[in-house]
Chain A
Amino acid sequence: MKILCILLAHFPWRCEVRRNPALEGRPAIVTYTSGSHRLVLDWSPELEGLQRDMPLQQALARHGEVDLLQADLPCYRAVFNELLDALEEKSPLVEGPDLGCVYIGVDGLQLIYPDEDALLQAINEAIPETFTSQIGIAGNKFLAYLAARRSPPGRHRILTGDVAAFLRRLPCDVLPVSMKSRSKLRDFGIDTLGQVAALLPGPVQSQFGPEGRRIWELARGHDDTPLYPRFMEKAIEESTTLSSVTVSLEAILVAAEVILVRVFADIARKGLGIRSLTLWTRSWSSENWERTIQFKEPAMDVKTAVSRIKRVLEDYPQPGPVEQVGIKINRLGYPHGRQKSLFSELRAQDHLIEDIKQLDLRLGNPQVYTVKEVEPWSRIPERRYALTPTGR
């Protein structure tokens, strides 16, 4: 299968520049918080020596005069999803495994785009100008990724012919394997993919376990990882802007309830319930807050969904006064089937007894009887059970 890989370098930082063009050309670090640690997510291209997930203190030790930006992941994901939507108009097989990395299945597209230049032009049209893309085309995901990484910014590289020669000098750090395995390769003095490929698979596997086989195959350019296209599902997203900014939980909950009423008006007619939803809010200072809520059993009415949302709102406080509330329905589902019984259902039994009483009243004497144990231990058969009027 022919795969096209698009890498958008510094995607989070580019999203920030897109939102605030004044950041262009200024040194900046995008940070995120993990527990009590502040870590680096991305940085402006002119800053060197930084790595993703490194502690912010280390980054500041290298670059003191920088703007610090708090990562707005919901915003980045929204921009990335817009990009994937645009790319899906070019090919139905689009996978976005990570922010700024896209794989596209291009088999069969030659019927639409006569040559690779036409295809690349169509792909580039879908990418917003803010982002600088690197594109690689090869026979599998790993090779396409490497080709994209090795292509100059704004250009592309098509990997054909002698793949082994291309891989031979590449460092082992490009392997998508665990840090432990990469470190172990270095400890063995194995620095390039060519050195790994020269080994026999057995020894590599015996040293690295199941991952050893994968390391050896990747080093020889074999990657059987399938493409996982985005799962197409009808998406429902509704939002409402509050009349005034608020920190009141009740006001946010009421807004969520209003949205859910609109959603259920659409889905309840089809007998569907909500399996998963994402609740998001936007504060007056443009801070985003979002939580995804999974329902063990589909929420079939507003009340069930609201009670769950209320707990989430209580557990995860808002970053600031909220001015917009929205709900995105990620997954719908049908209610779980339940075997119903006329007699075991309390309400049905109530109705039945009421009907029997009406019958008794109309006809003047008991019409329906229930077998009742009287003396089940008795040796005389007719003393064991008796019929008693039902509902009396």
Chain B
Amino acid sequence: MVEDTGKTLRADTYRPVNVPEPVKVEEDASGLPVAVGGKRRQVVAAVEDRWRIDDEWWRSEPVTRLYYAVRLASGQRLVLYKDLNDSCWYKQGY
């Protein structure tokens, strides 16, 4: 754990970590991801887990995400989510 320096965070110098990255995902009829990526398309071999996050419902743009932990045909594992506000897909380390 990083030691608390006791200093106030300054908005102009603070940088977020683990920001979601937009990604192109093909869905099947039920909405499950079947392939990830555009030019370098990779097929989803299996959906290993799925969960939903509903948070900050008191804000004007509440967080509503449907997460999928998937395994690609290459064996790589990814965590994807579909933002239910704008129906866009993102990948993110969870």
- Please state if A379 and B15 are interface contacts (CB–CB under 8 Å): no
- Please state if B14 and A388 are interface contacts (CB–CB under 8 Å): yes
- Give the contacts of B50-94 with A (CB-CB under 8 A): 53, 55-56, 63, 92-94
- Please state if A382 and B55 are interface contacts (CB–CB under 8 Å): no
Assess whether A372 is interfacial by the CB under 8 Å rule: yes
Contacts of A380 in B (CB 8 A): 53, 55-56, 63
- Please state if B13 and A381 are interface contacts (CB–CB under 8 Å): no
- Please state if B2 and A389 are interface contacts (CB–CB under 8 Å): no
- Please state if B9 and A388 are interface contacts (CB–CB under 8 Å): yes
Contacts of B2 in A (CB 8 A): 370-373
Assuming the contacts A388-B13, A392-B7, asked whether A379 and B18 have C-beta atoms less than 8 A apart, the reply is no
Assess whether B29 is interfacial by the CB under 8 Å rule: no
Contact with A along B1-24 (1 / 0, CB 8 A): 110110101100111111110000
Assess whether A113 is interfacial by the CB under 8 Å rule: no
- Please state if A386 and B14 are interface contacts (CB–CB under 8 Å): yes
- Interface size, chain A (Cβ < 8 Å): 18
- Please state if A392 and B17 are interface contacts (CB–CB under 8 Å): no
Interchain nearest-CB distance for A386 vs B (Å): 5
Assuming the contacts A370-B2, A372-B2, asked whether A392 and B13 have C-beta atoms less than 8 A apart, the reply is yes
- Give the contacts of A285-331 with B (CB-CB under 8 A): none
Contacts of B13 in A (CB 8 A): 366, 388-389, 392
Interchain nearest-CB distance for B65 vs A (Å): 8
Contact with B along A367-387 (1 / 0, CB 8 A): 001111110000111101111
Q: Please tell me which one of the listed residues B9, B10, B14, B93 contacts residue A381 in the complex, with CB atoms under 8 A apart.
A: B93
Contacts of A385 in B (CB 8 A): 17-18
- Please state if A386 and B15 are interface contacts (CB–CB under 8 Å): yes
Q: Please tell me which one of the listed residues A373, A381, A388, A392 contacts residue B18 in the complex, with CB atoms under 8 A apart.
A: A381
Contacts of B63 in A (CB 8 A): 380
Interchain nearest-CB distance for B70 vs A (Å): 16
Q: Please tell me which one of the listed residues B1, B14, B15, B16 contacts residue A373 in the complex, with CB atoms under 8 A apart.
A: B1
Contacts of B15 in A (CB 8 A): 369, 386-387
Contacts of A373 in B (CB 8 A): 1-2
- Please state if B14 and A384 are interface contacts (CB–CB under 8 Å): no
- Please state if A386 and B16 are interface contacts (CB–CB under 8 Å): yes
Interchain nearest-CB distance for B55 vs A (Å): 6
User: Complex: how many Å from CA A326 to CA B63?
Assistant: 81
Contacts of A371 in B (CB 8 A): 2, 17
Interchain nearest-CB distance for A229 vs B (Å): 56
23 cross-chain CB contacts under 8 A: A371-B2, A371-B17, A373-B1, A379-B53, A379-B55, A380-B53, A380-B63, A381-B20, A381-B92, A381-B93, A381-B94, A382-B16, A382-B17, A382-B19, A382-B92, A384-B18, A385-B18, A386-B17, A387-B14, A387-B15, A387-B17, A388-B9, A392-B13
**Interface residues of A, Cβ cutoff 8 Å to B:** 366, 369-374, 379-382, 384-389, 392
Shortest beta-carbon contacts, A-B, top 10: A387-B15, A385-B17, A389-B13, A382-B18, A381-B18, A386-B14, A379-B53, A382-B19, A381-B94, A372-B2
